[in-house]
Every structure is written in structure tokens, then in C-alpha cells.
Amino acid sequence: MWRLRLELAERSLDLSEPLSFWGGVDPLTGEIIDIHHPQRGENITGVILSMRSGRGSSSSPSVLAEALRLGHGPKAIVLEEADPMVWLGAFVAELLYGIKCPVTVRGPVSTDS
Amino acid sequence: MAMKVVTETAIQMGATRLLDIVSAHIDGCLFHGQAGLDFARRLLAGGARASVPATLNVGALDLLHPYLYRGPEEIAAFSRELMETYEQLGCLPTWTCAPYQLRDRPGMGDQVAWAESNATVFVNSVLGARSNRYGDFMDVSCAVTGRAPATGLHLDEGRQASIVIRIGPGLPVEEDWLYPILGCLVGEVAGSSVALLKGLRPGLEEDRLKALGAGAATTGSVALLHVVDSTPEALDHAALPISESATTVEIGSSDVERMRSTLSNAAGSTPDAVSLGAPHYSVAELETLVHLLAGRPVRLPTYVNTSRAAVQERPDLESTLVGSGVTVVTDTCTYLTPIIDRVVRVVATDSGKWAYYAPGNLGVGVIFAPVSECVEIAVGTG
């Protein structure tokens, strides 16, 4: 298990389309389940997850926090556009459980919230 | 803890100050796992209470018809505790994703913090109130503090459209089914931008605007969609809210056909159930359904998602539907929680949002169809 986790930690996953954690990721496994997402079937557990932005549902913070609690969240998230909803799920996981998942924005930084 | 969430989120959003809000709509009452419950319990233990009127979104249980739930008992118990915890936090047990269909709703220019993507886009676009796209944790934190970050759609300058979408000629603009499809197309091209839609007839009904917004907030993150001649900030042609650098795109018949087939991932299959309404049906939509059924019994399992307020306002509609064999679902939604029989493989729906999410959530195939066709499928003539 540890070996698997360490190997996964080295992986990065670049998403070609924005992902909604709710309806898009199973927090019990970390698998992308959105049938409309081109990377359905990939797993976000322990990866450095890159995507343009989050998308859709306002339930995403809970799902990200839950995935992180269960050890199936990403190691870090890199966004092109700031997305407070993505950041918030990670922030609450740290607040409640001390689990860290840094969320960074690598431009172009949007002022649109 | 609530103020910490609001202020830290404000920093993330680039806001330098907070503003007062007059209402909140809270999505965090839907159970997604222990993290959401732990957060609500921590707030309650700290003595937090909502300081503004705060409506609650759907939960994972239909509290009026609890026997409809087919999932594990343990999850039901957690879901119930989460819903009860939010009530104890002083929130209103409205249990609907369409709080804009309730009698008390915000008005033009009101500052609010509304979560649930379809409610956010409706409150901004159709009611002219002002909310950013909020979600779990932040929604209740705003309700408790009565404050929200002063940025984005709360401010005049944030409400200008950066994309103008023209409706091309020849689209069936008098058909209700077009609006969820158009909404999904708008979400695709607009992403998270403020959009302005041109080319629809003046004075669109709220149910059509609801379907448009829900679609746009499903395939995209649209939180404000101005519709020329229909939404309050897009009535004055001399002062349409369009930014100088806005781009223009057109949606045509081929786009509509493509989206319609995208949303029907089980096209060609025979449906074995029907699910109507997402967002929750309004009273007017329930009336249409009763009219289309015309007293006929349904042969397939048929569900309609609506609010407890709608059935309390018109119990006659619920009893007529139940008399036809329709299952009326309140407080939750059939794509969020196990209500539909597990043997069901293919479901017909009139909702773009339901069609988009149900295959992933429930593992079913979907056929998107106008409500009139869904009714004929349900009674066995379609």
C-alpha cells in the first residue's frame, strides 16, 4: 500500500477539461466518474492535478474535502484560473483534519470569480 | 470558524472588504460524506447560528416520503443528522434547489450568498440580486456571519457580459425542451464568464429561464446569464451590460442537435423509467404534467422532483399525480440519492441537468425528451 501511494505521489494528471468534483469524482476511490469528461476512469489519488478551473456544482468542496479525508484526494492542485470553490474544499480538509492539499494558480490569473 | 472561512475565501477571491447580505441559500445539507457533517457539527458545537434568513437546498432524504429511500441505512442516518444539524443552525427547512420559487425571495440589487449552481444563476440573472458562485462550507459561513466578500458579481463592474451569444435562426424557440439544451450550450461556450443571450422573444417565462440557467451552470460555471428583453438588467437596449472586449458567438440548429444527442446517451434504447424535474418542478410545471397525463395511469415507474412548498400549496396536484401512479419526490432529487429501483437501466427525462449527471451518479442510460414525450413513454404509448 505504501509503495503504491509513493508511486502515485510522483504522478501528475493534466486534465484537458475542467472537472467538477461533485458528480465527477468518487471520493471513495478517487476515480473520475463524469461520463462526459475525456479522462473518465483516471484516478486523482495522490496526483498533482492540473486543470484550467473547476466546474459546475456547488457541492464540489464537500466532495474534495471527503476525498482528502479518505486519502483519495490529489497531492496538490494547479489551476490556470483562480477557483475559490476548489480552494475551499482543500482549505476545509486542512481545517478539520490537518490534511494539506496546496492549491496554486499559474496564470493567466482571472479576476472573474 | 465561519468568519475564518469567509475571510480566507475573501482573500482567495481578491476581495479587500466584506459586505452585508440579506439572505443565504445553503447547499451543504446534502450528505457527501463525513467531512460535510464534521464541519456542520463543529459549527453547531461552537454556538453558530444563521444571522440572516437561510433557505436549505435538497438533502439526501425525502423527509415527507422517507420510505422512497433505497440506500444503506447508515448513510440515511448520517443524511438525516446532517439535515437536522442545519436546522439546528437556524436554517429554514425548505429542502429545495429552487428557493426562487418560494414566496419570499430576494429582489433587484439585494446582496445575497446563494449556493447551488442553478439557484445562484437564477437569483443573479432573473431576480437581479447579487451573489457569487458559493458552495458548501462558504454558504453556511456567510449565513452565520451575515457577510460575503465584496467582489465579482456583488459589484456593478463584475456584472458585465464578456461573451455575447446570439440565437441563430430556425430554432424551435416556442418549445420548452429547447431551453435546457440551450442552457447546456451556453455553459459550454461561456465557461465561467458572465454571458448575454440575444435573439429570444421578450418576457420569457421563469420556468424557461430556470432551465436555461440550470443548463448553463451544469456544463459550465455560469453564475450570471443576461437574457435580452427577459432578465431585469438586460431590458434597456441602450445600456446592455456588455463589456467592451466581449466576444460574440452564435448557437445554431446543428449545435442543438449535437447537445440533444450528447444528453441522450442511451438513444435508441427503450426506457424503463421516467424522471421529471431538475431543478424542482414549479407549480406551473406540475399543472402541465397533470394536463398531459389527462388522468391516464403510468405503466413505467415515473418520478417527479418538486418542493414541499409546491405540494403544500397545491395538494390537489400531488393527489392527482399519485392517482395516476406517479411518485412525487420532495426535499431531494432522484439523481442524488437512491430512489429509483436498481433494476432500472434507461430513464427518460425532460431535464438537461438530470440527463447530464444521472449516468455518472446512478449508472443509468438517459434519453432526453420533451415532457410531452416523457409522459407518453410513461403511460406506454410513446
**pLDDT score recorded for residue A6:** 52
Please, what is the average pLDDT of chain A? 87
**pLDDT score recorded for residue A110:** 46
Look at residue B91 and tell me whether its pLDDT is greater than 70.
yes
A chain contacts of residue B158, beta-carbon cutoff 8 Å: 112-113
**Quick one: B120 exposed, middle or buried, by C-beta within 10 A (0-12, 13-18, 19+)?**
buried
Predicted model pTM: 0.93
Catalytic: which of A12, A20, A53, A57?
Answer: A57
Look at residue A57 and tell me whether its pLDDT is greater than 80.
no
C-alpha cell at B201: 422573444
Handedness of CA B77, B81, B83, B84 (dihedral sign): positive
What tens digit of pLDDT does each residue of B16-73 get?
999 999 999 999 999 999 999 999 999 999 999 999 999 999 999 999 999 999 999 9
**pLDDT score recorded for residue A23:** 85
**pLDDT score recorded for residue A3:** 55
Please, what is the average pLDDT of chain B? 97
Cα–Cα distance measured from residue B305 to residue B326, given in angstroms and rounded to the nearest whole number: 11
* Confidence grade of residue A7 (pLDDT, cut at 50, 70, 90): low
The shortest C-alpha distance from A48 to chain B (Å) reads 20
Tell me what the mean pLDDT of segment A38-48 comes to.
96
Tell me what the mean pLDDT of segment A65-79 comes to.
97
Look at residue A112 and tell me whether its pLDDT is greater than 70.
no
Tell me what the mean pLDDT of segment B148-176 comes to.
97
* Chain A residue with the nearest C-alpha to that of B187: A56
**pLDDT score recorded for residue A36:** 86
Q: What angle do CA A51, A55, A60 make, to 5 degrees?
A: 100
Q: What angle separates helix A84-97 from helix B34-45, to the nearest 10 degrees?
A: 70
Instruction: Name which of B348, B335, B339 is nearest B279 in CA terms.
Output: B335
* Confidence grade of residue A12 (pLDDT, cut at 50, 70, 90): very high
* Confidence grade of residue B192 (pLDDT, cut at 50, 70, 90): confident
Neighbours of B209 (CB within 10 A): 22
* Chain B residue with the nearest C-alpha to that of A32: B360
- Identity of residue B159: R
Calculated CA dihedral for residues A86, A92, A94, A99, nearest 10 degrees: -70
* Confidence grade of residue A109 (pLDDT, cut at 50, 70, 90): very low
Q: What angle separates helix B315-323 from helix B283-293, to the nearest 10 degrees?
A: 30
Please tell me the least confidently modeled range out of A77-86, A89-98, B271-280, B368-377: A77-86
CB pair distance less than 8 Å for B36 and A62: yes
CB pair distance less than 8 Å for B193 and A112: yes
The shortest C-alpha distance from B324 to chain A (Å) reads 32
Sheet strand arrangement including B273-281: B327-329, B302-306, B273-281, B346-349, B365-368
Is residue A62 flagged as an active site residue? no
Strands B147-149 and B18-20 turn out to be antiparallel
Identify the contact set of chain A against chain B, taking CB-CB distances under 8 A. Answer: 18, 22-24, 27, 33-36, 53-63, 65-66, 68-70, 81-85, 87-89, 91-93, 95-97, 110-113
Tell me what the mean pLDDT of segment A91-96 comes to.
97
Name the phi and psi angles at A67, rounded to 5: -60, -40
